Chain A
Amino acid sequence: MQHQKLALPLLFAALAVGIALFPLVGDTFYIRLVAKIVVLGILAMSLDLLVGYTGLISLGHAAFSGTAGYVAAALINKAGILDLPTLLAASLTASGLVALVIGWISVRTTGIYFIMITLALGQMVFFFFHDVSFWGGADGVNLADKPAVAVGETVLLDLSVRINFYYTALACLVLVYLLLTMVLHAPFGQVLRGIRINEARTKALGHDVQRYKLACFVISGLIAGLAGFLEVVRGGFISPAHVNWHESAMVLIVVILGGMGTLVGPVVGAFALVLLEDYVADLTDHWKLVIGLFVIGVVLFLPDGLIGPLAKGGKRRLCLFRRPKETPRESIGDA
């Protein structure tokens, strides 16, 4: 039992060390790719908190990361702010607020309604950034410059240097992992787990589940905001596509592909999906077809994800193949 509990953290540690050492051996192209994977990994972990640990299937996650990215881009391009802490604080505040509002509306619903309303609200955010001309319209905006941490005239960290960004992103990945691990092991996390397995009973045992779900949303939204901020800095570009529900769905795929409810699984999933996409896009223009078939394959044949066996298959399976308690309430015609 003990060694199983260590397997996942060890895997993460191994990944982190691997990522840290990679620039010594890898070429520029792949270093950039790994940076992309790391940022996606952060985003996927934030979604895993919602989906894998609390059972909240959100299809609007890209709204949080996209909002943070857009706010950062706007501050850099229009206000000329390049101070990293300021930009980060602003982006996170924005994504946190969006998460608070969307969360507040969404947690009043359950099951199918929850999925649909997160999808619809996420699209509302998409339309906001797509239609309101201030944000640059359908084509998106390029970042005029990259942020840095400076004290007076001395630059401590300049993110326009790729390798700096690389290790900053990695540091964030590790920090987020540790933070989420802490939260999940704390009493707060115990309640989240209870909500996932049996929400009604958790409430009947004295916990205000709505509050917990909302808090979970906000925490998830803040971390997604961090990922969104990092992504816009990494790519130097943001467009409405970053906020579209297809993006949300792809992050969900990453979480499932790796193995949800494990934190490290989504990181593994990020590796798998980005590498697959990169490989397939080179082969054919119609790479989306391959990805689509791949998604279908994962759903049908690999529901526990790539690290499923490592995550103690039995424990997870009980929940995945059984529809959670919501089914009776969703039956039409029930009182």
Chain B
Amino acid sequence: MASLPPLRSGEGSGWGQYPASPGERVRMDAAYYLIQILNGVQYGFLLFLVASGLTLIFGIMGIVNLAHGAFYMVGAYLAFWLDSVTGSFTLALLIGVPVSVGLGLAIERFGFTHLYRRDHLYQVLFTFGLILVIGELRSILWGNDVYGVDVPPLLAGSIPLTETQSYPIYRLFISLACLATAAGLTGLIRYTKLGMMIRAGASNREMVQVLGLDVNRLFMVVFGIGVGLAAFAGMIAAPVNSVHPGMGDEILIISFVVVVIGGVGSIKGAFFGAMLIGLADTFGAVFLPEAAGVVVYALMALVLVWRPRGLFAGG
């Protein structure tokens, strides 16, 4: 059947590895914990970007989009390729995001439109097919190797925390970028007309249609936003998280967990879920390396037993 490239696990998904070389003895002092917290928060922010896109698509369009992780991967590979072609990470971002969004919109127009009224089952299978197609196209275009993207020189330094330890500026940049995006997203949803339609669509899809609002356009925009968020996240994460074939799947499952914990359709839930998972995964890797992968799922199972529709369902 389907063979799978090796997945990384037990490493906290490759985030915030400290120390850099295994076997090095670590002093678990305050600076160490601060770094872990910063890493956990940064991971959480990134997860939030991806998960909020996913939850918007779920909540407003009502579709299960398994290909969301693939767009994250597309973003990362585009970042790698455009950066190596143009030499500028900024340019890569400016070109890459619109290209990814364009790809997403094309898929929405030609594929998803037929699936809105169908059972979730068909959306699941359709998006799974997309994963295979996008994955293989990536393989054709860029092969199956693992790539790295250099941190842009402007942000390449570190901020000293103590005499011996420092924290990379770029990671702080990621957190800030995510925060800014989140603020922008919240602003969009709260203060614009489009945002009003989004909120209306989230609480009652049918009513929006009955009121004559152009649901097709709304869906297109929402899908574009969702894909854009995933691709953007993939791009800015590329310098710290290597660009590799399995990255789409990894982020997909984790994003699902975040959305499930937070509650489908809830941005607030996505934020809390992302932070919770980000910190849990990072500290899980520190304290329970063998069981790191399982911590996140155990958490999800616990939340769902208590609240079957997530923590903030309906918000």
Q: A residues bordering B, Cβ < 8 Å?
A: 51, 57, 59, 105, 108-109, 111-113, 115-117, 119-121, 123-124, 127-128, 130-132, 138, 240-242, 244-247, 249-250, 252-253, 256, 277, 286, 288-289, 291-296, 298-300, 303, 319-324, 327, 330-334
Which chain B residue lies CB-closest to A324?
B119
Q: Residue of B at shortest CB range from A319?
A: B119
| Closest-CB distance, A316 to chain B (whole angstroms) | 11
* 6 A-B pairs with the lowest CB-CB distances in the bound complex, closest first: A292-B132, A333-B203, A295-B129, A127-B293, A332-B265, A289-B136
Q: How far apart are A247's CB and chain B's nearest CB, in angstroms?
A: 6
Task: With both chains docked as a complex, state the minimum distance between the C-beta of A297 and any C-beta of chain B, in angstroms.
Answer: 8
Interface flags for B120-135 (1: CB within 8 Å of A; 0: not) read: 1110111011111101
Write 26 A-B pairs (CB below 8 A) sorted by A numbering.
A57-B120, A105-B301, A108-B305, A109-B309, A111-B120, A116-B259, A117-B300, A119-B256, A120-B253, A120-B257, A123-B253, A127-B9, A131-B292, A138-B6, A244-B2, A249-B128, A252-B121, A252-B125, A256-B121, A286-B139, A289-B133, A295-B132, A321-B118, A332-B266, A332-B314, A334-B314
Q: Please, how many angstroms separate the alpha-carbon atoms of A240 and B3 in the complex?
A: 10
- Chain A residues lying within 8 Å of B264, measured Cβ to Cβ, are 112-113, 330, 332
- Given A109-B309, A249-B125, 20 more pairs with CB closer than 8 A: A105-B305, A108-B308, A109-B308, A113-B264, A123-B253, A127-B294, A131-B294, A138-B6, A240-B7, A241-B1, A252-B121, A256-B122, A277-B1, A288-B139, A289-B133, A293-B133, A296-B111, A299-B115, A300-B114, A320-B122
Task: Give B199 Cβ to nearest chain A Cβ, in Å.
Answer: 9
Measured between beta carbons, the chain A residues less than 8 angstroms from B9 are 127, 130-131
Q: How far is the CA of A191 from the CA of B117 in the complex (A)?
A: 26
Q: Are the C-beta atoms of B129 and A296 separated by less than 8 Å?
A: yes
Q: Give the interface residue-count category, chain B.
A: 35 or more
Which residues does chain B contribute within 8 Å of A256, judged by CB atoms? Answer: 121-122, 125
Q: Contact between B125 and A128 (Cβ–Cβ < 8 Å)?
A: no
Report chain A residues within 8 Å CB of B122.
256, 299, 303, 320
Asked if residues A289 and B119 are in contact (CB atoms below 8 Å), the reply is no
Q: Is the CB of B126 within 8 A of A299?
A: yes
**Would B111 and A300 count as touching, CB distance under 8 A?**
yes
Q: What is the CB-to-nearest-CB distance from B250 to chain A, in angstroms, rounded to a whole number?
A: 10
- Decide if A113 touches B309 in the complex (CB within 8 Å): yes
Interface on chain A toward B: helix, strand, loop, or mixed SS? helix
Rounded to whole Å, the gap between the CB of B209 and the closest CB of chain A is 12
A320 to B125, CA, bound (A): 14
**Chain A contacts for B308, CB-based, 8 A:** 108-109, 113
CB atoms of B130 and A296 under 8 A apart: yes
Inter-chain CA distance A68–B73, complex, in Å, is 33
Q: Considering the chains assembled together, what is the distance between the CA atoms of A286 and B4 in angstroms?
A: 13
Of chain B, the residue at the smallest CB distance from A106 is B304
Q: Is B271 located at the chain interface by the 8 A CB criterion?
A: no
Task: Please measure, in the bound complex, the distance between the C-alpha atom of A123 and the C-alpha atom of B69, giving whole angstroms.
Answer: 15
